[in-house]
Chain A
Amino acid sequence: MELSSLVRKSASEWWIPQRGPMRVPGVIYGSEALVRDMDEKVREQVVNVATLPGIQRASYAMPDAHWGYGFPIGGVAAFDPQEGGIVSAGGVGFDISCGVRTLRTGLRGETIEPVARELARELSRSVPAGVGSHGRIHLDEAALDAMLAGGARWAVERGFGIEADLDRIEEHGCMRDAIPSAVSVRARRRQQDEMGTLGSGNHYLEVQRVAEVYDTDVAQAFGIALEDVVVSIHCGSRGLGHQIGTEFLKEMAAAAPALGIVLPDRELACAPVASEIGRRYLGAMRAGINCALANRQIITHLVRGAFATLLPQAALTLLYDVSHNTCKLESHGVNGSTKPVFIHRKGATRALGPGHPDLPGGLREVGQPVLIGGTMGTASYILVGTAESERLAFASSCHGAGRAMSRHQALRTWNGRQVIDELASRGIIVRSPSSRGVAEEAPGAYKDVGAVVDAAHAAGLSRKVARLTPLVCVKG
């Protein structure tokens, strides 16, 4: 991105002044190097989002922002329904409520290492992953309705996990006001055999060790310490979310002119929150969030089963579960007062600061865990929400590394077997049904997640707590 088109407000805050059809300015967070490396399309998309009706304060981009669909990936924007504010299918994306869940195991690295290979095999056998894989649970229409309304709470009631899990999930495991009847027959068909599946692409299940602790007090509050072993699950609402996104993107794009909305880019497809289609999308999208929460809950249950087989002394408890593709009704400060807004986080993580009432006891004192996924060869991070993140970006932070290289270039650069062998020589066991998939997801195809996390920390969006390195990675 051409830096001369931006106004630098601080070492890690860059503004796009409000001009033309923009209703608010754009704000990009990141180091000079990260912002310079961003595609010019990011600036264009931040500007386009700033033109949408009812937008509040600014159109934000996180340090990992890259070229998305309508919204940049790493985009954050809030809309007030009282001012004609919109909800956007493009602003949530195809993988509704894609997110990361991290579980503590109560184990140390030295316990895992002797059985790591068996554990990798057991995990890949227990959790279906990859193209064409189906779960072991088939949902009929009544069960689908209950799952779409109940989320992880539905899963726990069905025996997939325990009540205590729910407190450590965003929305306490159940997104309110979901409308299962707004989810189409085709979306339901895509999901009826996909519960408890990981998917493919950048989704993964990892056993990780805590390799570095930056903030001992917060780490202690999160229940983690150096050399502890944790498990992280990165996946979303599977085929159901993809189909909801596909259908509403098309419907909102077609309906926009009649609703008086000028779309600078068809992918910005949106509708007023107060419109019939806006309300219907919100209901379907919330059902999609519940699908993702239920899916990660079922996978948690499967992971617990795999651990129980090999390491019965393990006690897998939730550290936290947080999504990074959502639109939620939250209260935020705008022009000196607090009001409800519909906040879109597309490839951005909610990051509530200390004292926030939505956080459960044990976390409220320190702030929300912000879980940042890395690649199978580098690192993932645990951060914590800050008090200033509310002022900076409606309590939001980054979500991951973002690709540095296209899938095609990655395929030409690496061979899947070589990637697996190279990672094995570094003590990282990768299990995947697809060698080509591994090559496309090679660690070198991604940007430096450490630089992204450092930038989020420097900007004050969230603060570093711990770095996690992979021991076992199950990919689709």
Chain B
Amino acid sequence: MSTNQRGESSWEHFPHDADIGVAGMGPTKAEAFRQAALALTAVVTDPAAVRAVHAVPVTCQADTDEVLLVEWLNALIYEMAVRAMVFGDFAVEIDGGTLRATAYGEAVDVARHEPAVEIKGATFTALEVKQGPDGWRAGCVVDV
């Protein structure tokens, strides 16, 4: 399992047979979603190696927190694919069932980013968004 701590917030990867689980933790739901997005980037490359050259707006909606997480990660997977970009940081706001975010990143630089693998999609496997005594956790398995 890989983790990355940023104060009270952190992200981690958790194992799955063929693929990989991504999860974000934070004091708020929005921060947990932001951290989950960093975990998503870390499947492909080191988020810290990504420069914030371009800002890409992302909006998604869902009836439940769990589906909203899948929608959020799938929206990022889509933007990464069609723009050939990687994202190193995110500003995330969640209001009810609506998520509004900005993804900061740059075009894939194969030599510098050494991207490991494309992500096909976020799944409902090991999907959870929950608040515990230590804050929020948001995660699921992504298919690579």
The chain A residues found within 8 Å of chain B, CB to CB, are: 39, 41, 66-69, 73, 93-95, 130-132, 134, 186, 189-190, 199-201, 239, 242-243, 245-246, 249-250, 253, 265-267, 402-403, 406-409, 433-437, 440, 476
**Shortest Cβ gap from B67 to chain A (Å):** 7
Taking CB atoms, residues of chain A closer than 8 Å to B117 are 131, 200-201, 407, 434, 437, 440, 476
Taking CB atoms, residues of chain B closer than 8 Å to A41 are 17
Contact B118 A200 (CB under 8 A): yes
A200-B116, A242-B81, A242-B143 known, 9 other contacts, Cβ within 8 Å:
A93-B143, A95-B120, A132-B110, A190-B78, A199-B118, A246-B121, A250-B71, A267-B125, A407-B144
Which residue of the partner chain, among A67, A73, A266, contacts B124 with CB atoms under 8 Å?
A266
**Shortest Cβ gap from A194 to chain B (Å):** 8
User: Which residue of the partner chain A has the closest CB to B107?
Assistant: A132
Query: Is B123 part of the binding interface, using a Cβ–Cβ cutoff of 8 Å?
Result: yes
Closest 3 CB pairs of A and B: A132-B108, A131-B115, A406-B15
**Shortest Cβ gap from B71 to chain A (Å):** 8
The chain B residues found within 8 Å of chain A, CB to CB, are: 1-2, 13, 15-20, 43-44, 67, 70-71, 74, 77-78, 81-82, 84-85, 107-108, 110, 113-118, 120-125, 127, 141, 143-144
* A408, B17: Cα distance in complex, Å: 11
User: Which residue of the partner chain A has the closest CB to B44?
Assistant: A131
Contact A67 B84 (CB under 8 A): no
Taking CB atoms, residues of chain A closer than 8 Å to B1 are 408
* A134, B118: Cα distance in complex, Å: 13
Taking CB atoms, residues of chain B closer than 8 Å to A134 are 84
Given known pairs A132-B84, A190-B81, A433-B110, the reply for A94 and B121 (CB within 8 Å) is yes
* A372, B17: Cα distance in complex, Å: 19
Taking CB atoms, residues of chain A closer than 8 Å to B70 are 250
**Shortest Cβ gap from B125 to chain A (Å):** 6
Contact B18 A402 (CB under 8 A): yes
Contact B116 A403 (CB under 8 A): no
* A94, B74: Cα distance in complex, Å: 12
Contact A250 B81 (CB under 8 A): no
Contact B15 A94 (CB under 8 A): no
Given known pairs A132-B84, A186-B78, A435-B114, the reply for A245 and B120 (CB within 8 Å) is yes
* A440, B116: Cα distance in complex, Å: 8
* A440, B15: Cα distance in complex, Å: 13
Taking CB atoms, residues of chain B closer than 8 Å to A403 are 17-18
**Shortest Cβ gap from A185 to chain B (Å):** 11
* A476, B144: Cα distance in complex, Å: 12
**Shortest Cβ gap from B68 to chain A (Å):** 11
Which residue of the partner chain, among B2, B67, B118, B125, contacts A250 with CB atoms under 8 Å?
B67
| 13 pairs, A vs B, C-beta closer than 8 Å | A68-B17, A131-B115, A132-B85, A132-B107, A186-B78, A242-B120, A243-B121, A267-B123, A406-B16, A407-B43, A433-B110, A435-B114, A437-B117
* A199, B118: Cα distance in complex, Å: 7
Taking CB atoms, residues of chain B closer than 8 Å to A435 are 114
Contact A69 B82 (CB under 8 A): no
Contact B121 A434 (CB under 8 A): no
* A402, B120: Cα distance in complex, Å: 17
Contact B18 A267 (CB under 8 A): no
Taking CB atoms, residues of chain A closer than 8 Å to B143 are 69, 93-95, 242
Contact A267 B2 (CB under 8 A): no
Interface centre among A73, A95, A239, A402 (most CB of B within 10 A): A239
* A250, B113: Cα distance in complex, Å: 31
User: Which residue of the partner chain B has the closest CB to A38?
Assistant: B17
Contact A437 B115 (CB under 8 A): yes
Given known pairs A67-B17, A94-B121, A408-B1, the reply for A437 and B116 (CB within 8 Å) is yes
Contact B78 A249 (CB under 8 A): no
Contact A39 B17 (CB under 8 A): yes
**Shortest Cβ gap from B112 to chain A (Å):** 12
Contact A190 B120 (CB under 8 A): no
Given known pairs A66-B17, A132-B107, A134-B84, the reply for A267 and B124 (CB within 8 Å) is yes
**Shortest Cβ gap from A242 to chain B (Å):** 4
User: Which residue of the partner chain B has the closest CB to A269?
Assistant: B124
Which residue of the partner chain, among B20, B71, B81, B124, contacts A239 with CB atoms under 8 Å?
B81
Taking CB atoms, residues of chain B closer than 8 Å to A67 are 16-18
* A93, B20: Cα distance in complex, Å: 16
Given known pairs A66-B18, A408-B2, the reply for A130 and B115 (CB within 8 Å) is yes
Given known pairs A39-B17, A66-B18, A403-B18, the reply for A434 and B110 (CB within 8 Å) is yes
User: Which residue of the partner chain A has the closest CB to B109?
Assistant: A132
Taking CB atoms, residues of chain B closer than 8 Å to A249 are 121, 123-124
**Shortest Cβ gap from A206 to chain B (Å):** 18
User: Which residue of the partner chain A has the closest CB to B17?
Assistant: A67
**Shortest Cβ gap from A451 to chain B (Å):** 17
* A41, B15: Cα distance in complex, Å: 14
